[in-house]
Amino acid sequence: MDEPFPGTPMATHVAQVHLVAREVFGVVGSKWAVPVIEAIGTDTRRFGELHRQVTGISHRLLTATLRQLERNGVVDRRLHPTVPPRTEYRLTPAGRELHNTINGFCRWSRHHLDEVLAARRRFEQA
């Protein structure tokens, strides 16, 4: 089927973009994804390093989080055929862009903290 107007995305394409975006946001919005992304940062990290750095995460949840981030193109996993096997994780270009976006949200939070807290107090008093 042709596009209704040249340069206009088809409804099925738009629906697919929205679906994928919701799925990725669901993964990134999970409890452990942001701390794992932050722990990897701009470096390459081994599993043990990540487990030590992300306080409170179990091995199972770290594995599951890394797999979901890898599935969605945020993290790249590299297995080195050594004994014992060595696995390293790094952010993909998309993951690095997401990392920058997360840092932007953190800056926004710090900048507007007093406003957010004041709004919450007003809301609770109403």
| pTM listed for this prediction | 0.81
User: Confidence band (pLDDT; 50, 70, 90) for 9?
Assistant: low
Give the integer Cα–Cα distance in Å for 87 and 45.
Answer: 8
What is the per-residue pLDDT across 27-72, written as a single tens digit (0 to 9) for each? Answer: 988 999 999 999 999 999 999 999 999 999 999 999 999 999 999 9
CA distance 13 to 4: 12
Is the pLDDT assigned to residue 85 strictly greater than 90? no
